[in-house]
Amino acid sequence: MTWEVVIGLEIHAQLNTNTKIFSGSSIAYGAEPNTQANLLDLGMPGQLPVLNKAVLPKAIRFGLAVGATIGRKSVFDRKNYFYPDLPKGYQTSQFSYPIVDKGGFLEIEVDGEIKKIGITRAHLEEDAGKSVHDAFPGQTGIDLNRAGTPLLEIVSEPDMRSAQEAVAYARKMHELVQYLGICDGNMQEGSFRVDSNVSIHKPGTPFGTRAELKNINSFKFIEQAIEFEIARQIEILESGGKVVQETRLYDSEKNETRSMRAKEEANDYRYFPCPDLLPVVVTDEDIEAIRAEMPELPSAKRARYVFEFGLSDYDASFLTGSRAMAEYFEAVVSHSKDAKMSANWVMGELSKSLNQQGIDINESPVSAEALAGLLARIQDNTISGKIAKQVFDAMWNQEGSADEIIAAKGLKQITDSSAIEALVDEVLAANAAQVEAYRNGQDKMFGYFVGQVMKVSQGQANPGQVNEILKRKLS
Amino acid sequence: MHRLSIKQMSEKLRTREITSVALTQHYLDRIEKYDGDLNAYITVTPELAIEMARKADEMLDKGEGSLLTGIPVAHKDIFCIDGVKTSCGSKMLHNFVAPYDATVVEKLKSVGMPILGKTNMDEFAMGSSSESSYYGPTKNPWKLNAVPGGSSGGSAAVIAAGLAPFATGTDTGGSIRQPASFCGITGIKPTYGAVSRYGMIAYASSFDQGGPMSRSAEDAAWLLDAMSGFDAKDSTSLEQEKSDYTAQLEESLKGLRVGVPKEYFGEGLSESVSNTVKEAIEVLRQQGADIVEVSLPNKDLAVPAYYVLAPAEASSNLSRFDGVRYGYRCENPQDLSDLYMRSRSEGFGTEVKRRIMVGAYALSEGYYDAYYLKAQKLRRMVRDDFVNAFEQCDVIVGPVAPTTAFNIGEKSDDPISMYLEDLYTIPVNLAGLPAMSVPAGFAEGMPVGLHLIGTYHSEAKLLNVAHQFQQVTSWHEQMPEAYQ
């Protein structure tokens, strides 16, 4: 019998509020150390937390999106442990009564098969600060800017059976929280962190001892880390050893995981309800108000793109890959009224340029409105599709709007039939031998003449008219 | 001057018969003269006091300010004051200068009350005698070898000895009322949530409540008026509109139903205290109150429940004192664990360490249900007792403490007997109710307090009863001879 892999994920999604979960400090990334830490964040005596109410609709929106029960009375608990980057000596979290309770799930697709992954719960908590080990020789620096940043910890059931499934779930979750507008999804900045619990066992026997792989900041590395971990555990068990319950770190350079700390040394966290905070009561009205403002979810969007816009499944999936991409696409369509053409441009030139520069669609130098302006010039025959690519490149380089570039570079299509006729005459006169050959039955020479006319017009002659005039002249 | 009521002082200030600077200096001089023996202040702030008094005089000169403007106040050393050492009676915070004002401090600053200093207390408010202070015990002005009670013992002593007209205190299990009783002054613990806890160093957050300590109930009413009110910085602060605590002071006690819980007069209560309290109840009866017997059958569950829950909260609240960012840090820590262990072992006193240990144990895995959750159930039972009793009466009366002030050192090695000091006060904190201690006479030469307990938000009624009682008695006007 082969080994069965069991994986459950704990995902920390940083909620995109302006301020911390219990204090008024900013959570903007990248500030000088400790410049975003006020008296509460420093754990000063006598300081009291006040809940940032902006976190509640975000957490509830998530709960509704995954079909979970919303905790009508959720409670903040204290998780007690000592660490220098934990200024109060406890982390405020939700233990017994989370805001997002049981019943949620996410559908993933791996190798064409659809699978439901259960979501155990999701709860609100504050992030810890950061220990900086390399800034001062022999000493550890503490940066409390991150302390108190609001997190939604999303805990899955141990429903995944391969690294591929785990990554598919993580990606799906990453897409979802961005769609919901509750998390910016930036993995490099730690806004979306994935911890994987991995174990193996023989089917029909109890689950094996698990190892936890922490804070891996790319999907590729998550997959590699899990693969490595599975192989490591199989090797241990098959050579008669025992897997130790522990936290392991992934080293992407060596492609291996190594032990960070064994669970045996772990603290008893002595959870108890935080007496400084009141339970959070959520009413039916609150839930309905949040439901009414829910954005369209990716699966609904994909279906709509196929039915309403007539796009292929592939195109629909591509364009709904992120909320920003879908919003961009929909903005282009709203002007062009041509979904297929808009899809081709967004998936073609635009995506190609974004990839080349490695930037996000939000940072595109060509806005959706600007791209729609370019498509309008194709639609009204001002330029050909080919010239449009040239105009797009100029737009990408910030040379101006489509109209400005067309005017400045004189790229307007030649549609005057007498002018095209003059070009055709010029080409035919210069290629007498080829004309002779064509007349003798070499039909494929026609394309050559079209190419020559386009060439002398510098691509600006209207191709339809060129065809028509050539046919007439050669007949 | 120190024997005047607040109203009289205020009158003299507003007619400019006296200045705030003169009044403040009068108290500073008395502190200078008497506090060496009493040890009631941890920190005296003469420069700050005089500077604030000058500003108060400027306001008074222009006819501005309120009744309290220019009247000095002493703060228990548990309240943070910007730029002033705030030690909480602990070596742990011996070097800690608070970088901000507690809401209570800010409120009293804003009405122009000069700050005389910070009063002594049991370390982190854990104690009933003020002996656990890192700064040594405060003495009872009525008898220097007796304790003033605790944890707000310093505040009670400064009022009794006339070293401040007003003081702030906090009451987690009786820490305003018991020292008020021992020192023969008036103190009120308001309904939980009435006074903001922001800037008040936490001991047990779900019990801690600040309140005023003064000579008379009327004085207390004025101070409570200025201290209390909703504070957005404290999530457990009561959002309802604030009561006018002085409005009902003059109401008659005719027809007032005064409940006497039979369990408050049982075993453990000294006979002389019992007799003094019964005489005080007789005074209320003579003023027209109807005395009814009520029952608080679960009273004896309160102390054990409290000594699970309060330490549990404390074990977590005191985790921030780790030697990392502020406060005491051990010499030459070898590594992180050494830094934690030695800073905390050396920085905290015995009683604080005992409660941290007890609390951490009660919360630990496998014991949580048996201790913490069970204690929460008891807490609800104790509260329900009061809810039921208040169906038959308007206020409950009884003793504040089983004895008068005991001698320094008498109970400090016996935690259980010290914990039982709070037998009558702790049930009130479990329920979150308002309650007072009002001077009710003397037993063997030492003051005895009458405990008045009200239902939620009934501070104005309690102050009314206390004030009316003080109209026909003069216990609150007594001062120990040495300090007159």
Q: What is the 3-state secondary structure (H, E, C) of B243-261?
A: CCCCCCCCCCCCCCEEEEE
Look at residue B269 and tell me if it is in a domain.
no
Which among B256, B271, B289 is the end of a domain? B256
Bin B327: left if φ > 0, else alpha if -120 < ψ < 50, else beta.
left
CA-CA distances (angstroms) from residue A85 to A39, B115, B380?
A: 15, 36, 37
Pair B135, B248 in one domain: yes
Distance CA A448, CA A219 (A): 49
Chosen domain end from A285, A315, A336: A285
pLDDT tens track for B426-461: 999 999 999 999 999 999 999 999 999 999 999 999
User: Is A270's CB within 8 Å of B86's CB?
Assistant: no
Least CB-CB distance to B312: which of A88, A142, A272?
A: A272
Peptide bond into B151 cis (omega under 30): yes
Smallest CA–CA distance, residue B191 to chain A, in Å, is 16
Per the annotation, the verdict on B175 as an active-site residue is yes
Q: Sort strands A130-136 and A139-143 into parallel, antiparallel or unpaired.
A: antiparallel
CA A331 to chain centre: 19
Residues B44 and B180 in one domain: yes
Instruction: List Cβ neighbours of B322 (8 Å cut-off, separation of 6 or more).
Output: A82, A84, A89, B339, B340, B343, B344
Q: What is the predicted pLDDT for the residue at A386?
A: 85
Instruction: Answer yes or no: do A438 and A396 share one domain.
Output: no
- Tokens 């805001």 map to which residue? A99
Same domain flag for A212 and A315: no
Please indicate, yes or no, whether residues B96 and B170 belong to a single structural domain of this protein. yes
Mean pLDDT value of segment B401-422:
91
Nearest by CB: A82 against B198, B340, B368 = B340
Do B249 and B313 belong to one domain? no
Give a yes or no: residue A431 inside a domain. yes
A111 has pLDDT over 70: yes
DSSP string, A37-74: --TTTTT-TT------TTHHHHHHHHHHHTTPPB-SEE
What pLDDT band is residue B256 in, cutting at 50, 70 and 90?
Answer: very high
Name A398's bridge partners.
none
Tell me the nearest-neighbour CA distance from A155 into chain B, angstroms: 22
The verdict on a CB contact (< 8 Å) between A44 and B232 is no
Is B168 found in the same domain as B84? yes
Rounded to whole angstroms, how far apart are CA atoms B428 and B459?
13
Last residue in a domain, options B341, B376, B411: B376
Pair A79, A136 in one domain: yes
Residue B220 lies in a domain: yes
Residue A125, min C-alpha distance to chain B (Å): 17
User: Residue B284 above 90 pLDDT?
Assistant: yes
pLDDT tens-digit map of A392-410: 999 999 999 999 998 888 8
Domain for residue A426, yes or no?
yes
The verdict on residue B81 lying in a domain is yes
Mean pLDDT for A184-188 is 93
Contact of A56 with A280, CB cutoff 8 Å: yes
ipTM over 0.90: yes
Instruction: Say whether both A276 and A152 belong to one domain.
Output: yes
Question: What is the mean pLDDT of the segment spanning B200-217?
Answer: 98
Same domain (yes/no): B58, B115: yes
pLDDT at B178: 98
Do the domain assignments include residue A234? Answer: yes
> Is there a single domain that holds both residue B220 and residue B329?
no
Chain A positions touching B313 (Cβ under 8 A) are 272, 275
Residue range B148-159, pLDDT digits in tens: 999 999 999 999
Q: Which residues of B touch A47 (CB under 8 A)?
A: 198-199
In this complex, the residue of B235, B325, B326 whose CB is nearest that of residue A276 is B235
Which H or E run contains B279? helix B271-286
User: Is residue B412 among the annotated active site residues?
Assistant: no
Question: How many whole angstroms separate alpha carbon B383 and alpha carbon B400?
Answer: 18
One domain for residues B330 and B217: no
Nearest chain A residue (CA) to B320:
A88
Structure tokens given for A217: 């900041």
| Nearest CA-CA distance, residue A217 and chain B, Å | 28
Q: Which of B323, B326, B325 lies closest to B346 in space, CA to CA?
A: B323
Q: Please check the confidence at residue A362 and state whether its pLDDT lies above 80.
A: yes
Q: Which residues in chain A are closer than 8 Å to B322, comparing Cβ atoms?
A: 82, 84, 89
> Residue A237 in contact with residue A211, Cβ under 8 Å?
no
Residue B210 counted as domain residue: yes
B52/B179 same-domain check: yes
The Cα B147–Cα A313 span in angstroms is 83
Whether A84 maps to a domain, the answer reads yes
Per CB-CB distance under 8 Å, the chain B contacts of A271 are 363, 368
The bridge status of strand B115-119 relative to strand B73-76 is parallel
Q: State the pTM of this model.
A: 0.89
Query: Is B129 annotated as catalytic?
Result: no
A430 and A455 in a common domain: yes
Distances (CA, A) of B222 to A148, B246, B249: 39, 7, 11
3 state SS of B113? coil
Q: What is the mean pLDDT of residues A240-247?
A: 91
CB < 8 Å to A39, chain B: 99-100
> Which among B376, B400, B433 is the end of a domain?
B376
Pair B310, B355: CB distance under 8 Å: yes
The answer as to whether B242 is a domain residue is yes
Residue A100 is classified by DSSP as B
Same domain for A175 and A263: yes
Q: Could you report the per-residue pLDDT of B84-139, keeping only the tens digit for each?
A: 999 999 999 999 999 999 999 999 999 999 999 999 999 999 999 999 999 999 99
Residue B223 placed within a domain: yes
Residue A1 has a pLDDT of 64
Alpha carbons A461 and A214: distance in angstroms, whole number: 60
Q: Any idea which of A361-365, A392-396, A434-438, B427-431 has the lowest mean pLDDT?
A: A434-438
Nearest residue of B to residue A81, measured between CA atoms: B319
CB count within 10 Å of CB B442 equals 16
d(CA A352, CA A5): 37
CB B98 within 8 Å of CB B80: yes
Percent of chain A topping pLDDT 70: 99
Among candidates B96, B235, B315 on the partner chain, residue whose Cβ is nearest the Cβ of A50: B235
- The answer on A149 and A227 residing in a single domain is yes
Q: Measure the CA–CA gap between B29 and B25, rounded to whole angstroms.
A: 6
Residue B365 to residue A270, Cβ atoms within 8 A: yes
Question: Mean pLDDT, chain A, as a whole number?
Answer: 92
Chain A residues with CB under 8 Å of a chain B CB are: 39, 42-51, 78, 80, 82, 84, 87-90, 142, 268, 270-272, 275-278
Q: Is the CB of B235 less than 8 angstroms away from the CB of A51?
A: yes
pLDDT in tens, B93-108: 999 999 999 999 999 9
> Is residue B120 classed as helix, strand or coil in its secondary structure?
coil
Nearest to A82 among B86, B322, B365 (CB): B322
User: Of A249, A264, A285, which residue is a domain's last?
Assistant: A285
Facing B235 at nearest CB: one of A87, A88, A278: A278
Residue B277 domain flag: no
Is residue A48 within 8 Å of residue B237, measured between CB atoms?
Answer: no
Confidence grade of residue A413 (pLDDT, cut at 50, 70, 90) = confident
User: Structural domain of residue B348, as residue ranges?
Assistant: 300-376
Cβ B307 vs Cβ B315: under 8 Å: no
Instruction: Please tell me the predicted confidence (pLDDT) of residue B352.
Output: 98
Residues B232 and B330 in one domain: no
Number of domains in chain A: 3
User: Same structural domain for residues A263 and A395?
Assistant: no
B25 and B94, same domain (yes or no): yes
CA A259 to CA A435: how far, in whole Å? 78
Percent of chain B with pLDDT over 90: 95
**Residue A252 pLDDT exceeds 90:** no
B275 in any annotated domain: no
**Residue A369 resides in a domain:** yes
Judge if A201 and A153 occupy the same domain: yes
The domain total for chain B is: 2
Q: Which amino acid is at A271?
A: Y
The per-residue pLDDT for range B34-69, each reduced to its tens digit, is 999 999 999 999 999 999 999 999 999 999 999 999
User: Are A89 and B320 within 8 A, CB to CB?
Assistant: yes
C-alpha distance from residue B5 to each of B106, B113, B164, B222, B325 (Å): 23, 15, 12, 11, 44
- Interchain pair A278, B372: CB under 8 A: no
- Residue A359 in domain: yes
Site of tokens 């509750």: A182
CATH, residue A428: 1.10.10.410
Give the CB-side neighbour count of residue A362, counting CA atoms within 13 A. Answer: 6
Residue A265 has pLDDT above 80, yes or no: no
CATH code for position B193? 3.90.1300.10
Helices (H), B134-270: 153-160, 177-183, 217-227
Q: Which of A285, A305, A324 is the last residue of a domain?
A: A285
* One domain for residues A16 and A88: yes
What is the Cα–Cα distance from A280 to A97, expressed in whole angstroms? 10
For residues B237 and B306, state if they share a domain: no
Q: What residues have CB less than 8 Å from B40, skipping those under 6 apart? A: B119, B120, B138, B139, B148, B153, B154, B155, B157, B158, B161, B163
Nearest residue on chain B to A87, alpha-carbon basis: B320
User: What is the identity of the amino acid at A396?
Assistant: W
* Active-site residue identified among B87, B128, B151, B315: B151
Structural domain boundaries, residue A104: 4-285
Q: Is the pLDDT of residue A253 over 90?
A: no
Distance, in Å, from the CA atom of A423 to the CA atom of A425, rounded to the nearest integer, reads 5
